[in-house]
Amino acid sequence: MSTHAQHAPHPTGLAQKLADSGLRSTPQRELVYDVLLTKRDHPTADEVFARVKPELPGISLATVYNCLETLVQCDLVRAVNFERGPTRYCPNLCPHAHFHDEATGQTHDIDLPPVLFAKLRAELPAGFDANAVEITFRGKAKTSSN
């Protein structure tokens, strides 16, 4: 029965990145990451839990939190926050902004030219050393596709 590749090695080399940090690749971590890559709608931990459970019924919410934290640590996903709402997770690693639709609660990635990030950084007074910039728009999105 070994001809079935039930878990094809992860397309993006998750096992590799984990190993780089001295961590193991586990079914839970693979699956959580998979879920994030598959539906990139910035799900919350609860939503990830719901998507993962059918596949791995024994998994616990605590583990989902652990896995997400691990993935963030390994720079495989980004944690995103709006106000004090539940943390959302985003597998898009290129610098980008987020648009939070107040009507639907949906989150959209907004690509920005790198030069804009540079210009923002350039505005920091001397003595301020930023290692991250976060940009969030809030408003209504009337995407025809939705």
* Residue 45 and residue 65 in contact, taking contact as beta carbons nearer than 8 Å: yes
Where b means 16+ CB within 10 Å and e means fewer, 99-111 reads bbbeeeeebbeee
Q: Which does 7 bind (CB under 5 to 8 A by kind): a copy of itself, DNA, none?
A: none
60 binds DNA (CB under 7 A): yes
Question: Hey, which residues between 90 and 119 contact a copy of itself (CB under 8 A)?
Answer: 97, 99, 108, 110-113, 116, 119
Q: How far is CA 114 from the centre of its chain?
A: 20
Query: Would you give the DSSP letter of residue 126?
Result: T
Question: Hey, which residues between 122 and 141 contact a copy of itself (CB under 8 A)?
Answer: 123-125, 127-141
Q: What are phi and psi of 49, to 5 degrees?
A: -55, -50
Q: How far is CA 37 from the centre of its chain?
A: 8
9 binds DNA (CB under 7 A): no
Q: Considering the complex, what minimum distance in angstroms separates the CB of residue 14 from DNA?
A: 12
120 binds a copy of itself (CB under 8 A): yes
Residues binding a copy of itself: what is the number (CB under 8 A)?
Answer: 37
Contacting DNA (CB under 7 A), which of 87, 92, 106, 136?
87
Measure the CA–CA gap between 21 and 75, rounded to whole angstroms: 10
The DSSP bridge partners found for residue 100 are 107, 138
Interface residues toward a copy of itself, by CB under 8 A: 79, 81, 83-84, 87, 97, 99, 108, 110-113, 116, 119-121, 123-125, 127-144
Interface residues toward DNA, by CB under 7 A: 18, 23-24, 26-29, 44-46, 56, 58-63, 65-67, 69-70, 84-87
